[in-house]
Structure formats: C-alpha cells, structure tokens
Homo-oligomer: A and B are copies of this chain.
Amino acid sequence: METSELEQIDKTVKGWLRESRDNVLRKIDTRLTVNTKTSRRDLVTNIDKQNEKFLVSKIREFDPDAKILGEEGFGDKVTSSEGRVWIIDPIDGTMNFVKQRNHFAIMIALYQDGVGELGYILDVIGNRLLSGGPKLGVFDNGQPLAPIENTSLKDGLIGLSGPMVLNNDFNMVDIAEKSLGMRIYGSAGIDIISVLRGELVGYISYLKPWDFGAGKILCETAGLEITAIDGGQLGMLSSTAVLLATRNAHRDVLTIVGK
C-alpha cells in the first residue's frame, strides 16, 4: 500500500480509537456482564462485545472488501492471510479490565497479504497510543518513538505470563532469574507498550493473532525481534508462545529456552 493511502487510513483509525475509548470510559463504572470462555480466567464482558461490534462496523463501512478477524467473533472466519485483513482486540487484558478497570488495551492491526501495514495499541486508562508501521514509523502518542537500546536479558526487566512462570514452561524460571527481574502485567498490549518504550527488554506469553497482531508490526518496525518462543517465524494467524525482545535479549532467551 502507498504511504499516502496509509496516512489517510492512519487518521481514520485514530478517530475510531478515540471514539472507542470514549465509549469504554463512559461505561466503565457500570455493572459489567461477565462470562467465562475456556476457563475461569478467560473472560468476556458486554463491553468487549460492544466494542468489537463498534470497530467491525467502522471497518466494514470504511473497507468493505477486507476481512476482519476479531477476538469475540463478530468479524469473519479468517483462514488465509490473503488480501487485506484487519485484526482487532476490543479489550486486551479483560481480566484486568474486570478486576482493575485499569491496565487494558484496545488493539487494531492491518495486514496486506500477510505483511503488516499498520498497528495500534491503546492503553485506555493511561491514554497512551503506540501506532504506526513500516512505511510510517512508530509513534508514541503522536511523537516519534525514542530509539530502543539493545539491552541484554541480564541488564533488563522482562515481562512474562504468570501461568508460564508457574508451570516453568520453556525454562521460564531460568529466564526470570537471568534477568534483573520479572514483571507480570496481565495484558499483552500493556506489556508490548512497555517493551516499545524500553521499560522491559522483552515479553513472553501464549498469544493469539489479536494479541500480537498490532504488536508484531510495531515491534518489527522499531527494530525488535518477534518470533515464536523457539525462534521460529511468527505468521499472522499463528497461535503460540511468542517472544518479543531486543535483539540481545531475544538471543539470550533463545539460549535458555533451548537448554
């Protein structure tokens, strides 16, 4: 896609996000309808659903020929990365949303034939938007993102998934011990913002396309590595343990995972 076209889309998506954030904030103090999905820790609320419907309707109107992959299923059944695909997570970190009314994100990504074009991660309460893509660059609330130092694992804090630590999946305990400390924030979006801003040297979690779709585009544009936990390529429709990190921390983690 052309840069001028992407700039136009960028402006439009930012408008949806502002409206979407306003909608969520307007309802945040109302009683939520909370349902469990695959387990007592996998939640969906009426606001997740309303927000996905809102975003799907905006995308349909703006880009009727595209496919939409949404966490809550109001988009299309997407089985191929061909064409233009929008990926949306209406509330990332739903547990945080339900229990904290804080530390959750709205995420949108646009891929063309499997190649990332635009990514958006909005920290709703912090009111911080990370946005951009390979042709536009990465922006932090509209300002060019500060360069990210290529810090190694032993010199940085790492964001991890709580369950992966408790199960010691992929030697996660060793990874945490090698670092200066682990942090557990409970939202891929919030964790990925922290890595992009240099607050964490990396992040590891089991993720679905809507969890990493925007982050993959922003991380790759910002010079971070993002792969499966074994170093394998991460396709747009993958569902796997994901490692995103500075180049040095990525190499350090792969060494420990491979032990």
Contact = CB atoms under 8 A, between A and B. Distances in A.
A176 B166 contact: yes
B100 A157 contact: yes
Contacts of A188: none
Interface residues of A, number: 27
Interface SS majority for chain A: mixed
A42 to B, nearest CB: 11
A95 B194 CA distance: 15
Contacts of A176: 162, 166
Number of copies of this chain in the oligomer?
A: 2
Given A95-B157, A100-B157, A156-B99, A182 B199 contact: no
Given A173-B166, A199-B102, A157 B180 contact: no
Contacts of A181: 41, 95, 162, 186
Given A99-B180, A99-B199, A185-B185, 20 more contacts: A40-B180, A95-B157, A95-B180, A95-B181, A99-B156, A99-B157, A100-B157, A100-B194, A100-B200, A101-B199, A103-B199, A157-B186, A166-B176, A166-B177, A166-B182, A181-B186, A182-B184, A183-B184, A183-B186, A184-B184
